[in-house]
Each structure stands twice: as C-alpha cells, then as structure tokens.
Amino acid sequence: MSFFARALLVTLGAALCSCAEPSGQSCELNSDCLQGTCVDGTCQRECREADVDCPKGYLCNARGVCEYGGDGGAGPAGPGGTSSTGEGGNGTTSTMSTTSTMNTTGPGPSSTSSGMTTDAADLTLCNADGDCESGICRLMTPSGPKRCTHACSSNSQCPSGLRCENVNGSDVCVQSDVGRSCTSAGQCNFACLTPLDYCVSECSSGADCPAGFGCMPVGNPSTDVCVRLSADCAADSSQCVAPSACDTSPNLVVSSCTIACDSAADCPQRALPFAPWTCDGVCRRPADVYGPLPGGYEPAQWACNASFQVVNVCNDGLHIDFDAFSIPSAPGVSCASPTTTDGLAGDACLDSCRLQGACEYGYGCVGLGDLGGTRIGLCLPAGPGEVGASCSTNGNCAFALCQNGTCSRDCSKDGVCPEGSQCVAQGGPNIEGQAYRICQ
C-alpha cells in the first residue's frame, strides 16, 4: 500500500501490531504533539470541554488546545433521559442520555458588522442565519464553531464528516461528533453513551459510522447508534459496550472490543478494497488485523503473531508518521516478550475510511491513500486552520488537508467548499468511483 502525500506518492508499509496501556507522547516542542502542547517533556491536552477548561470566548480545538473563537459557552441543553441496555442477556448495562432540543439560534437579519460574508456557502464560518445562502447558521457541535449548513432528512444529504441531526427542532447537517468525550447529553449533538463517556449518533448500518465504529441497538426502547470497537479489553473490558463484548479470538494478538451483529453490514467498514469485517453473531476483524488500537494512538505498538511475524495491533492494521506523512519501519521486536514494543519516533496507528461514515471526532477523511492504484480515504488529525489558511502539515487544518502549504478540504463526495474556494478535480485515481477533488 502507498499514500498520496499531498501531491506526491509515498510508499506505505502496513504492519499489524499489539499494544500496552496508552502513555503520554514524549516531546521537546509543541509541534511534536499530535494533541495538546509539550509540558515537561510530555504532550498534554489543555482542554476537552471549552466551557469547563477554557477561558470565556475560547474554543477547545481538535488538538485539545484553547483558542479564541466565540463565547466558548455551551448553550442550553434540551430535556434528556437515561435508559439502560444489556448485550446478549449478560446483565450489564450501558446508559445513553439523549437530547431532544439543542442550542437555540433564532432567525435574524443578515449582519455584516463582524465582516462575515453574507449569503455564504455551506461550511463557511458564520454568526447568524442571515450570513448564509441557506439561511441556516448552526453550531457544528455544542460549544463548537458556527457554520452555514442546510436542512436534511438523512445523513446521505450531508457533506462528508457531517451528519443529519435535530437542532432547534429541525433536522440540519452538523459536524459528526461521534467519539467525542462527554459526560452528559448536552455535550453531544445526539447522545452521550455512559459510562463509556463518548458521543454517539443514530445509524442504520456500519456504513453510517466512523472508522472503527459499528452500528448496534442501545437503550430501552432501543436505538441503533454508532459504538466504538477500537478499544483494548485484554486487561479490562470496561471500554467495551458490555464485558461479554471482548473478542479473544486466537488470531488476535491483543483482545479487542466487538459488538453483536445480524450481518457484516452492522460492523465497521474499512476502505475498499481492504478485506472486510465479518459477522458470526459478533463482528470479527479481518485476518490482517491483530488488535484494537484506534487511529492516532502513539506510539503504535508491535509484537509477534502466532506465525512469529512482527505485526502491529492497530485496529485497521495501518500505521504512519502523520507529520512526516511517511511510514516508519517496524521496530526490533522479541517474539519472546510478554509485552508489546513501541514503534519508532512518530509512529502512530492509522485508520482507513469511507467518505460516507468518515472518521471519529477530531479527524477528517481525506483521499490521500493508495492501495494497488485505488485511491482510498485516510483518517487524518484535524486542527484549527480554515480553508485558505497557511499550513505545514495536514494536522494544521480544520478539514485535515494541507495542500501545497494551504489548508483545503476533500470535496470528492459532495462538491461543498466554504465561501472563497471552489471544488476542483486533481486528477489521478478516483476515490470510491468519483473524481478526487479538493477545495482551492
């Protein structure tokens, strides 16, 4: 497998690995950190929730750093409830708190006092409904930025990375916050799954869910939502939706969370033509995946499989140095070791993605991967830079794409670009049967 590194093709060696408990990424400079800033030699997030961790007027960006960008407060949450569900009659419960109303933004006249462009296209930052061509300006997530958006009746009507959610009593496209940390429903666009403490959203199949998430019923009465499978349960099954949802199949180097399924359509969806997950009553990882570590886990972990091959235990079997946009070599591994081995400096787990389900919160699905001449989507870390801002890495940009020193967006699926840019074909292999296009 290989990657399209911005405009260049870079060889990618996909290896599969196993891993230990997460630890802080070592660093010397802030630029060494995928998330947070460098404090006493370790990368540490400054924030998770803007209204709790940041000064008033600041937002908590995807890198976990407070940045100025609004009033920083979460609006009033609507009424919510809690319900419990077990899996397979095991007697344990997960709780999902949901909201029926979201932050209120009333319609108003166009305002240009802030310098905001009026009648702006979808995904453009905005202050009020009158700023947008659609007449709809909404928070993309509670306490997040406002962008122009439009009404919808299904996820398929929304740009890649957005979902159709009920906001202020009407269905509009907002940013997918699936996987975002939460403790209550008001911190999520749809619901907070506790005690796992991450945001979820409704789904009809795994194709609606981000990479590493499957679709299963939760609650009473039940609702199908996107549930994370990219979690280690070797020592502790608390990160699985239920203790019995820990897969200990012999092909796995590290035991991994899973979910019950009726068909493979309920399971996480890898980019094609990767081997798919299968279903035999529970979702099973393909033979080239040996563990559960999510995209962005650093350092990637390595061990030996049953055939004494050195493999990684990333949940999609892929790894990368995000900043260098290259594939590090595997480290030296002793197959006799009872623990996994850290990857080389910069080595992190990587997820492939499909443009529909895209990636979990904090990542963008970008068509920079190449597998045998087929362009595929990769989940890359997102940052604060809007389309048109200067950048040095993909992680500097809000839509996770830095093209020739300028932040961009993969618009292949939807043709949508913020005001001041347009969706332009780039040539080369198509992605999911469509021309590869970016905003410029």
Q: Which DSSP string do the residues of 208-276 spell out, in sequence order?
A: GSPTTEEEEEETTTTEEEEEE---B-SS-GGGSSSGGGEE--TT-SS-EE--B-SSGGGS--PPTTSPP
Residues forming a β-bridge with 304: 310
pLDDT in tens, 36-46: 665 666 666 66
* Domain boundary, last residue among 248, 275, 302: 275
The token duo for 197 is 């403490």
The answer to whether residue 374 is domain-embedded is yes
Residue 321: closest CA among 274, 380, 375? 380
Burial of 55 (0-12, 13-18, 19+ CB in 10 A): exposed
> How far is residue 158's CA from residue 430's CA, in Å, rounded to a whole number?
21
pLDDT in tens, 326-348: 999 999 999 999 999 999 999 99
Tens-binned pLDDT, residue by residue, of the chain (440 aa): 665 544 333 333 332 222 222 335 565 554 444 556 656 666 666 666 666 555 555 566 655 665 544 332 222 223 233 333 233 333 333 556 554 322 223 333 333 333 444 589 999 999 999 999 999 999 999 989 999 999 999 999 999 999 999 988 999 999 999 999 999 999 999 999 999 999 999 999 999 999 999 999 998 889 999 999 999 999 889 999 988 899 999 999 999 999 999 999 999 999 999 999 999 999 999 999 999 999 999 999 999 999 999 999 999 999 999 999 999 999 999 999 999 999 999 999 999 999 999 999 999 999 999 998 999 999 999 999 999 999 999 999 999 999 999 999 999 999 999 999 999 999 999 999 999 999 99
The answer to whether residue 268 is domain-embedded is yes
The answer to whether residue 71 is domain-embedded is no
> What pLDDT does 45 receive?
65
Q: pTM here?
A: 0.76
| Same domain membership, residue 370 and residue 265 | no
Three-state secondary structure call for residue 311: strand
| Same domain membership, residue 249 and residue 133 | yes
Give the mean pLDDT of the chain: 82
pLDDT in tens, 131-140: 999 999 999 9
| Same domain membership, residue 374 and residue 264 | no
Task: Count other C-beta atoms under 10 Å from residue 168's C-beta.
Answer: 17
DSSP 385: B
| Same domain membership, residue 210 and residue 97 | yes
The answer to whether residue 357 is domain-embedded is no
Please tell me the number of Cα atoms within 13 Å of 110 on its side-chain side: 13
> What pLDDT does 11 receive?
30
| Same domain membership, residue 234 and residue 95 | yes
Cβ neighbors of 109 (< 8 A, separation 6 or more) are 128, 130
The answer to whether residue 85 is domain-embedded is yes
**Domain coverage including residue 393:** 362-439
> How far is residue 25's CA from residue 297's CA, in Å, rounded to a whole number?
9
| Phi/psi at 238 (5° precision) | -65, -20
* Domain boundary, last residue among 275, 291, 317: 275
Helix (H) or strand (E) holding 4: strand 2-5
The token duo for 28 is 């010397």
* Domain boundary, last residue among 275, 300, 327: 275
Q: Where are the alpha helices (DSSP H) in 297-374?
A: none
| Same domain membership, residue 241 and residue 100 | yes
The answer to whether residue 382 is domain-embedded is yes
Three-state secondary structure call for residue 438: strand
The answer to whether residue 323 is domain-embedded is no
> What pLDDT does 219 receive?
87
| Same domain membership, residue 230 and residue 99 | yes
> What pLDDT does 242 receive?
85
Tell me how many domains the chain contains.
2
The token duo for 133 is 């061509």
The answer to whether residue 204 is domain-embedded is yes
| Same domain membership, residue 198 and residue 97 | yes
| Same domain membership, residue 250 and residue 385 | no
